[in-house]
Amino acid sequence: MIDEIVIISPELIPGAGGVGDYTLRLIESWDYHTNLNLLVPKSGLGQAASLPQRTEKLGIDAVAIGKQLPSGDGKILVQYSAYGFDQLGYPRNLVRALVEWKHKTRGLLIVMFHEIWTFWPITNKNAIVQFFHRRAIKQLVRCADTVFTTTSSQAHHLKKLAPSQSAHVLPVGSNIRRNKDVEVARKPGWAVLFGRQDARIRALKKMQNSLTSLAAARRITKIVSVGATGLNRDEEEHSLLAKLGFAEGFEQRGPQEERDISELLLTASFGVSAQNELSYAKSGTFMAYAAHGLNVLAECGDPAREEPLNLLTSPRELLQGIPDTELRLRAEHLRAWQQRTSSWDLIAAKFVEALQLPEASRAADQVVSR
């Protein structure tokens, strides 16, 4: 008898959010989907047209969640992002049901923490909510069979909650698959700003001075903005882009098909990133830049830091005049780092191994040895 596998995710709408895309990519990377169910809030289902035929979509009932979990020797994989499950950032019913399920059954519980609790000053009204959230996560971590998270800083915090439990760091994969059929020459000076609109606007505000300087020095000559919209902030983004003064102007392409985004990432020379050094490993956008061999322009880039921060390029470096040969070498090494640490084959193999699925160990060994 094949054990039932349930994947719990806050969303499954392609392109709407990182965790949804992550879950879809993970399923696509597996060679089999026998007896696989998905448990998703009804608001996060959408069309989900790319799901396998044998995958059942279930709506999470916040009260009756325990009745929707597998019985006996079932296996659960949780894609944990608190705000994805609860608008206050504390999915109390979900965490309680998972802990109770684990205590009552012989099942296997695997948790991937895309996000942990939110850190608020003690004077903020949200601090008390996150205090209880942190306490709930402590229970979840202690009873889980395997715990993954996307960054070393989150792993450190989880380890403090449960010193006897290991928190394995597994960076996210690229949210855009590289189009192997496209061979185009890169355009010198072209930069891409990719991601959700709120993230793009945040990056433009944070990097306004450095991007303006790079435009004036003609190290960056054009910027192309691409990605989801829907926040009614197109005019705000347009205004921020217009102020930068690039010699070849700018484009706002909005949401595009995955193939078209991949072609753009293979055409440009730079990817603009406002991720800080603690969050790059959980950014599918950052990994898309890396997987497509772009030079990532980021304030946290520093040749003296550990990999991959030493493979990024800071605006100051670019202004001071870094050789093209060095830029090409960094892009090649960054792509190799991404493939070595967070390719979808590797991610899928790690979860297959944790879920103790057939030939799990051999699959993981094969991927790691590549």
Q: Which of 369, 339, 357 is nearest to 177 (CA)?
A: 339
pLDDT computed for residue 57 by the predictor:
47
> Could you tell me which residues are beta bridge partners of residue 254?
226
pTM: 0.85
CATH 3.40.50.2000 applies to domain 5-173+343-368: yes
pLDDT above 70 (res 359): no
Lowest-pLDDT range of 42-46, 139-143, 167-171: 42-46
* Structural element, H or E, at residue 284: helix 284-291
pLDDT above 60 (res 119): yes
pLDDT above 70 (res 16): no
pLDDT computed for residue 364 by the predictor:
45
* Structural element, H or E, at residue 110: strand 108-113
Structure tokens at 143: 């009873």
| pLDDT 10s digits, 181-206 | 777 789 999 999 998 898 999 999 99
CATH number for the 190-341 domain, one of 3.30.540.10, 3.40.140.10, 2.40.50.100, 3.40.50.2000? 3.40.50.2000
What are the φ and ψ backbone dihedral angles of 162, each rounded to 5 degrees?
Answer: -140, 85
| 190-341 has the same fold as 5-173+343-368 | yes
pLDDT computed for residue 44 by the predictor:
53
Task: State the Cα torsion 362-364-368-369 to the nearest 10°.
Answer: 10
30 vs 142, higher pLDDT:
142
**Are 20 and 44 in contact, with CB atoms under 8 Å apart?**
yes
pLDDT above 90 (res 173): yes
Q: Are strands 250-254 and 270-272 parallel, antiparallel or unpaired?
A: unpaired
**Are 39 and 6 in contact, with CB atoms under 8 Å apart?**
yes
CA atoms within 13 A on the CB side of 366: 10
pLDDT computed for residue 370 by the predictor:
42
Dihedral sign computed on CA atoms, order 267, 269, 275, 278: positive
Cis-peptide, bond into residue 308, ω within 30° of zero: yes
- Give the Cα separation of 213 and 318 in Å (integer): 10
| Domain ranges (residues) in the chain | 5-173+343-368, 190-341
pLDDT above 80 (res 139): yes
